Amino acid sequence: MSESNILGWGLVGASNVARNRLVNAINSQPDSRIVAVMSRDLDRAQAFARECNISAAYDSLDAMLADPNVHCVYISTTNDLHYAQTLAAARAGKHVLCEKPLALELAQAREMVDACQRAGVVLGTNHHMRNSVIHRKARQMILDGAIGKPLSARLLRAMYLPANLHTWRISAAAGGGAILDMTVHDADIARFVLNSEVESVVAIKTQQGLGVGDIEDTVMGVFAFCNGVLCQFHDSFVVKHADMHFEIHGTDGSLYAEKAMSGQGGGKLFLRRGDARTEIDCGAYEELHTRAVKLFNAAVRGHGQPAVSGEDGVRSLQIALAVRDAANTGRRVYL
């Protein structure tokens, strides 16, 4: 591919997830390269640029958005900043892959989708789990009737938040808490795998050692789906010894996606019918963010859609906010 046909990406935020996941995901594509990084602090931006071999470093979003080499941005700042940064990128005509949750309020997320549509730019939400071969296989098997009529499901996303992440994620100011961090991912993957929309939710949240102020580090609840499935979820920053699973039970069988909920991808899928338990061949592993960028680049070029759209990001945020509302009020909340 000629240099003139390469998509240039700018990183908004010199974040951990950008360093650990997206730098390689973008640079490993034949048709995209990271050409700029922006941080609140120029020294940090320059250090990140040196470390990751990025040619331009900025401490101003507007300056980076004015860079003609930047065609797409990846927004991975704290959750409170996604909204304004996406609107600015859309105004500048840049395509946006935005981290979850899209925003802190539903109206903001809807405005982000509208702004990108009006500007004619692609908006994707980085719910990476949809890129997992395991979850895609599970969805297809359910669609093909492998477990009969789906009845219930359980999502376990309980882990111990690494010490270097005990920052904004466990306090309120920048949009922290287990619900906006993890339940929002659950909402997306459950909608995807079960191929249905959430009708209502119930939830209880609590603090078990990490949450600051009134921010939850643990939440449990149920998504009630329009197709009748009840899906339990347990999200936590404080569980040190658990594996992260997703299981779906139907009238004719059960699917177990074992160790399949971590950011690294991986895991195994099993189908159980009676006492027989069979491992399912899910095909070749593809790194989750790498697939996200591949589909995003294609969408920018007019082929297909991002793995997870802006509208999907609106839906998952709506569900997460309903969970928070349900936990705060003790009521079942209808969407």
> Which CB, 126 or 254, lies closer to ligand NDP?
126
Q: What is d(CA 171, CA 174) in angstroms, rounded to the nearest whole number?
A: 7
Query: Whole-number minimum distance, CB 126 to ligand NDP, in Å?
Result: 5
Q: What is d(CA 292, CA 287) in angstroms, rounded to the nearest whole number?
A: 9
Q: Please report, as ranges, the residues that interact with ligand NDP according to CB under 6 A.
A: 13-17, 39-41, 44, 76-79, 81, 99-100, 126, 128, 165, 167-168, 174, 181, 263
Query: Whole-number minimum distance, CB 232 to ligand NDP, in Å?
Result: 22
Length of the chain equals 335
Q: What is d(CA 86, CA 297) in angstroms, rounded to the nearest whole number?
A: 17
> Which CB, 78 or 117, lies closer to ligand NDP?
78
> Which CB, 133 or 147, lies closer to ligand NDP?
133
> Which CB, 19 or 332, lies closer to ligand NDP?
19
> Which CB, 150 or 235, lies closer to ligand NDP?
235
Query: Whole-number minimum distance, CB 44 to ligand NDP, in Å?
Result: 5
> Which CB, 64 or 142, lies closer to ligand NDP?
64
82 in Cβ contact with 75 (< 8 Å): yes
Q: How many other C-beta atoms can be found within 10 angstroms of the C-beta atom of residue 62?
A: 11
> Which CB, 94 or 157, lies closer to ligand NDP?
157
162 token code pair: 């690494």
70 token code pair: 């930047």
Q: What is d(CA 198, CA 191) in angstroms, rounded to the nearest whole number?
A: 7
Helix axes 106-119, 82-91, angle to 10 degrees: 10
Closest by Cα among 243, 161, 173, 163 to 207: 161
251 token code pair: 């009238």
Query: Whole-number minimum distance, CB 275 to ligand NDP, in Å?
Result: 36
Residue 155 phi/psi, 5-degree rounding, is: -115, 125
Query: Whole-number minimum distance, CB 145 to ligand NDP, in Å?
Result: 31
Q: What is d(CA 289, CA 133) in angstroms, rounded to the nearest whole number?
A: 12
Query: Whole-number minimum distance, CB 16 to ligand NDP, in Å?
Result: 3
Residue 42 phi/psi, 5-degree rounding, is: -65, -40
Query: Whole-number minimum distance, CB 102 to ligand NDP, in Å?
Result: 9
